[in-house]
Amino acid sequence: MHELALCESIRSIIEDQARARNFARVERVALEVGAFSGVEIEALRFGFDVAMNGSVAQGATLEIVELPGEGWCMPCARAVRLAQRYDACPHCGGYQVQVTGGEDLKIRELEVC
3-state SS of 66-94? EECEEEEECCCCEEEEECCCCCCCCCCCC
Across the range 31-43, mean pLDDT stands at: 96
What are the residues whose beta carbons fall under 8 Å from the beta carbon of 100, sequence distance 6 or more?
A: 70, 71, 72, 79
Mean of pLDDT over the chain:
96
CATH number attached to the domain at 2-112: 3.30.2320.80
pLDDT tens-digit profile of 47-100? 999 999 999 999 999 999 999 999 999 999 999 999 999 999 999 999 999 999
In the predicted structure, residue 1 carries a pLDDT above the cut 90 = no
User: Given this model, what pLDDT does residue 16 score?
Assistant: 97
Which helix (DSSP H) or strand (DSSP E) does residue 19 occupy? helix 2-21
